[in-house]
A and B are shown apart, each in its own frame.
Chain A
């Protein structure tokens, strides 16, 4: 089955700096890669996603890049703010498009 690895597990940055979280996946058939932000005790919120036919996607301060050949994708957050502090999960859609496998999560802390 699909295996999604995510690094780093924790990330601390100064306000205004950029944050980068990286994920790799194993199933070459995966074709959809969403990123979720989860605050403590709350539901995961979709913040950005990318399909396998696109190499990069940007939405204001958030961007995602995908390298299908290397089977890795990354989340980039620029001009970080304290409210960006949360756990971020990457995921890959596999199993014939029916199963979403999550990475292990990254605890991002933005310090003042």
Chain B
């Protein structure tokens, strides 16, 4: 299957700082990438859909000014958690579909801990 790389795998930061997470499709081009958040023992909740060359589409209840998404190329999308607070601590996972496909491939996830 297709490979999606995500970095960093874990990050600890102080409250008020910003954290950037990168998601790369390594062997295919992804016009669309998805960002999910997963709290302990819960399901994956879609935060936003990242579209190459255009603005991201955010799900209801997700603050677009707090979770900045940039999809500047067909292989890279970034999620920046701005002014992070302890309640933002979570497992963030990106995913991508290869062009024309249905299968969704996931990155390895980023465990964010905000102190």
Contacts and interface: CB of A to CB of B under 8 A. Distances in A.
State yes or no: do A and B come from one complex.
yes
Contacts of A101: 46
A105 B42 contact: yes
A44 B44 contact: yes
B109 A43 contact: yes
Contacts of A102: 43-45
Interface stretch (A12-20, A58-66, A67-75, A92-100): A92-100
A107 B42 CA distance: 10
A32 B102 contact: yes
Interface in B25-77: 32, 34, 41-46, 49
Contacts of B108: 42-43
Interface of B: 1, 32, 34, 41-46, 49, 91, 93, 95, 102-109, 111
Contact of B104 (A34, A41, A105): A34
A98 B44 contact: no
A45 B108 CA distance: 10
A104 B43 contact: yes
Nearest to A33: B102
B1 A46 contact: yes
B32 A98 contact: yes
Nearest to B107: A43
9 contacts: A32-B102, A34-B103, A41-B91, A41-B109, A44-B106, A49-B102, A51-B102, A102-B45, A107-B41
A100 B104 contact: yes
B51 to A, nearest CB: 10
Nearest to B32: A98
